Structure 1
Amino acid sequence: MRMPLEEALLRARVRRLTRRAGPRARTPRPRRTTDPREVTPKRTAQLLVGAFAAALAVGTVLLLLPAARTGPGAATPLEAFFTAASAICVTGLVVVDTPVYWTPFGQAVILALIQLGGFGVMSFATVLGILLFRRLGLSARITSATETKSPGYGDMRGVLLRILATTVVIEAAVAAALGLRFGLGYGYEPARALWHGVFHAVSAFNNAGFALYSLSITDFAADPWITLPLMVAVVLGGLGFPVLQQLRREWRRPLRWSMNTRLVLMATAVLLGAGTVFLCAVEWSNPATLGPMRTDEKLLAGLFQSVIARTAGFNSIDVAAMHPVSWLGLDLLMLIGGGPAGTAGGLKVTTVAVLGFVAWAEITGQGAVTVLGKRLSRSVQRQATTVVVLALGAVATATTVLMLLHEDLGLDRILFEVVSAFATVGLSTGITAQLSPAAQLVLVALMFLGRLGPITVATALAARTRRTLYELPKERPLIG
């Protein structure tokens, strides 16, 4: 043990040496520069928007050609622009009768835009997920890879090829089933049967809703050989590529499914069942919809419309003749939509499911939000809330604008049209063509926003890594 004097002398010597050495020079950290060629979530989202805008421009120009229209002359710029936007955004709203107004060339352009829109959204959404996965820390990446059982998920080229293969296989199988039914059951010539099968298979899997019949699928409402393949294609496209891939690998081992897969499958089953019961209960005796049908036909038509409300846009019964209560129920189904990284639109079932679990945790007084045995990250809760609030704001704003432009149409019809456009569904009460050019442009903006908005917003929120070095004092306002 040192004596006090020795300790004082030692401390004084240390101070002299420190002053003599001067302050320690700090090596400046090299500033992180971003390579303009680096692929980031932000750049990918920008590329997504730019690619869709370019495809929309090209599609509009092609539909403006005289060869695209059956009558004399060419389509008007608004007709071509609206149709191209509805096709690339896989919506299905139309201002002209597709099988009557457009030639086979015009229909082929529409089909190509549908395919680009559906495949593009699935691809870009999956790539954005991969890029966000790479931005996670090591522990989070290990956890995610363990949950999804996909350590090679970062191979973007392989993922895109698998998306393409999945799309081709499903569309080919549905097209074959439909083509055989059109040919054998309705006497179509082979070329026409094949064309109708391919067109409706692509339109169904990409949740577009374009049909080569003026009354959509109403003539086949009681034919399960037509409606069932369409429903299968719509559901598979709406599940999303991550879910399809995991089901392909581990369909016999449900305990190993990720939270995303289980949420999408559970929510899809609940919504399809609830939608079928609701529509059948309301429309069962409606003489203009389900009333004249047999019991089995009513159930089939109710199931078909419940599936289609997941953003496909076909209809096997007259939507304009439905009860306003049915319109409200369809509004909710359309707004929820399908699964993430799929061809369906809407808010996505996972977003709504997260908010449901958050509400349940608050009602039951739980300290943390748990989903299927796992604790839910607070950042995911905030992202889901933000997406829903922005979507509801867009729907409310567009509804207000259209009400000012067409107050004679009523709130229920206008709200239905707005939700259908934003959720990229395509169902309509028959007022699309009656709207003024300004109102139709509002719908185009909604379709574009609804197709790309949730993806880009969610990506921007997930990619933000802002670290706060301080916290402000807490205070709680009164709620309710």
Structure 2
Amino acid sequence: MIKLINRLSITQKLTLSFLLVILVGSLLLSLPITHYANAPQTHYLDHLFNVISMVCVTGLSVFAVGDVYNGLGQVISMALMQIGGLGLVTLLAISSFAIRRRMNLKESNLLQSALGKDDSYRLKDYLFNVYKITFGIEAIAALILMIDFVPRFGWGHGIFNSIFLAISAFCNAGFDNLGGNSLKSFVVNPLVNLTIAFLIFAGGLGFAVWMDLFRALKKYLTDKPIRRRVFKKSLSIQSKLVLTTTAIVLLAGTLMTWYTEAGNPDTIGRYNIFQQILISFFQTVTMRTAGFATISYTATDSSTNVLYMIQMIMGGAPGGTAGGVKLVVVALLFLLFKAELQGQDHVIYHNRIIASKTIKQTLTILIFFFTVLISAYIILLDLEPNLDPTALLFEAVSAIATVGVSMDLTAKLSVSGRVVIMILMFIGRVGPITVLLSLMQKKSKSVRYASTELTLG
């Protein structure tokens, strides 16, 4: 078995690590010891679906976590979401470093791929910083949530619920243990909304960007003469691209949601302008692969749901806990379009030429992503003829983008329909390019062919 595993490629090992966690987690959460005594009757497939959703940090669920899983089950759920967000490979690696065991070259390459890091420089320090950022942000956010939750639920449940939500939100998992209404009871609660929104933003920003920001902040505090240009000089091209694209998506998404829903009394129409903006902002943030909801998406306008599906597909930044095609891919697609319109030979950002290999990978990810999504949607239409086609598309996009929002459809799916959604969640979390490479890993042949030109229109 060990020899067989050693023969697998890096991408295949990453895929296998997620499958292993899913198998163990589903077996644990299907045990009666993890359920309430009076919990509704469930089957292994129900727990498998939930565990895939947890490990793939999606949020779709066939039943509410707080209705079935007891304290032990919810602790296991938190562990699965944390492992899903950070990856089993990073957990094993930090354990090895903790016991002072040196990693060989193959293990280093595997860890580097799991972290989404371009090089192996100071890999150990990078990994420890990832965990420091994760646990630090989760701890601070949990303490803030306790301000509201402890008076509301009491000390025990207030602290536990705060920790559960902090882990789930930072990992962009979208699960809560408050019942079947997600965060609808907190629709205009600024403390809960803004704290959860920050956690989602933090997890989806990417660890490399956070480390860039911390380095820039440190330089800003120590090098007074260059404070005005420190962030411009210190941030990498990728960090600038991620932060700029994130700001545009959040601002545009908030304004467009407010515009399409302001007159809808079933969503935000009955609230004042400040509450409307808060609700619109939260939905825009959560659509970047988080899965929490403060309004019902069965009540939102059709145009709003189309907007949400576009946001889900965009996702968050690479190297974080978010899903989707990733914002860098979206930004590069726009830059490619801009370069073609301007007649440029290269894609340029901040006076830097984007490598052609990166552009090819961008197009490959998009083609594979939409091929899987459209194929799965067609299958769902065939398997679920009695369900709303728009709601099915919303569910499929939510699954492959690892968002976890739903038009109240998940529990209505047949067994076959749930299997399709589970496959989409898995592909979405492991990553389209990782899945594609794990299935088609072959050595490329260095053969040069004659070039030709084609007419496109």
Whether the TM-score (by the shorter chain) exceeds 0.5 is: yes
1:227 matches 2:198: no
Q: Which letter does structure 1 place at the counterpart of 2:377?
A: T
For 1:209 and 1:228, the matched residues in 2 are separated by 15
Shift in Å, 1:68: 2.1
CA contact (8 A) 1:114 1:206 kept: yes
Which residue number in structure 1 is paired with residue 94 of structure 2? none
Kindly indicate whether residue 82 of structure 2 is the aligned counterpart of residue 115 of structure 1. yes
What letter is aligned with 1:365? G
Q: Letter of the aligned partner of 1:226 in structure 2?
A: V
2:205 pairs with 1:205: no
Q: CA deviation at 1:159?
A: 1.8
Aligned partner of 2:206 among 240, 249, 270: 240
Runs of at least 5 residues in structure 1 that lack an aligned partner in the other structure: 1-35, 135-152
The residue number in structure 1 matching 2:288 is 310
Q: Match of 2:21, SS?
A: helix
**What per-residue deviation string (whole Å, max 9, x for no partner) do you get for residues 218-258 of structure 1?**
11111111111111110010010100111111134222311
Please tell me whether the aligned partners of residues 186 and 294 of structure 2 are also in contact (alpha carbons under 8 angstroms). yes
1:187-206 map, 5 Å: 188-206=153-171
361-370 vs 380-389, greater mean Cα deviation: 361-370
Note the C-alpha offset of 1:130. 7.8
Q: Give the direction of change, closer, same or farther, for the CA distance of 1:318–1:133 in structure 2 (3 Å limit).
A: closer
Go from structure 1 to structure 2 and tell me whether the alpha carbon gap of 1:57 and 1:277 turns closer, same or farther (over 3 Å shift).
Answer: same
TM-aligned CA deviation for residue 319 of structure 1: 1.5
Aligned residue runs from structure 1 range 72-221, under 5 A: 75-120=42-87, 123=90, 127-128=112-113, 133-134=118-119, 154-184=121-151, 186=152, 188-213=153-178, 214-221=180-187
For 2:391 and 2:312, how far apart are their aligned partners in 1?
A: 14
Pair 1:427–1:199, CA change in 2 (3 A): same
Q: Secondary structure at the match of 2:431?
A: helix
Deviation beyond 6 Å, 4+ runs, structure 1: 36-40, 129-132, 458-461
- Give how far 1:39 is off: 9.4
Aligned amino acid, residue 80 of structure 1:
H
Q: Distance in 2 between matches of 1:156 and 1:47?
A: 19
Gaps of 5+ in 2: 92-109, 221-229
Q: Which residue of 2 aligns with 1:399?
A: 377
Match in the other structure for 2:231: 254
1:430 — aligned with what?
A: 408
Offset, 1:270 = 0.4
SS, match of residue 303 in structure 1: helix
The superposition leaves residues 280-321 of structure 1 with CA deviations (integer Å, 9 ceiling, x where unpaired) of 111111111101112111110000000000000001111121
Alignment of 1:37-52 (within 5 A): 43-52=9-18
In structure 1, the partner of 2:315 is: 337
Contact 1:63 1:75 in 2 (8 A): no
Taking a change above 3 Å as real, the CA distance of residues 326 and 130 of structure 1, as seen in their structure-2 partners, is closer
Asked if the contact 1:66/1:72 (under 8 Å) is kept, the reply is no
Larger Rg: 1
Q: For the Cα contact (< 8 Å) 1:179–1:197, is it kept in 2?
A: yes
Percent identical: 32
1:452-471 aligned at under 5 Å gives the runs 452-454=430-432, 456=434, 466=444, 468-471=446-449
How far off is 1:408 after superposition?
2.8
Which residue pairs with 1:149 in the alignment?
none
* Aligned residue type for 2:32: P
Conserved? CA contact 1:121–1:343, under 8 Å: no
1:394 is displaced (CA, Å) by: 0.5
Q: CA deviation at 1:379?
A: 0.9
What is the number of equivalent residue pairs in this alignment?
422
Question: In 1, distance between residues paired with 2:318 and 2:117?
Answer: 14
Q: Distance in 2 between matches of 1:416 and 1:286?
A: 20
Normalised to the residue count of structure 2, the TM-score between the two structures is 0.87
Q: Where does residue 140 of structure 1 map in the other structure?
A: none
Distance 1:123 1:324, change over 3 A: farther
8 Å contact from structure 1 (residues 92, 427) kept in 2? yes
Corresponding residue to 1:390 among 365, 368, 388? 368
CA distance, structure 2, for counterparts of residue 367 and residue 57 of structure 1:
48
Per the TM alignment, residue 156 of structure 1 is displaced from its structure 2 partner at its CA by: 2.3
Contact 1:339 1:349 in 2 (8 A): yes
Normalised to the residue count of structure 1, the TM-score between the two structures is 0.83
Instruction: Tell me the amino acid that sits aligned with residue 160 of structure 2.
Output: W
Deviation at 1:122?
Answer: 9.5
CA 1:218 to 1:74, structure 2 compared with 1: closer, same or farther past 3 Å?
closer
User: How big is the shift at 1:330?
Assistant: 0.5
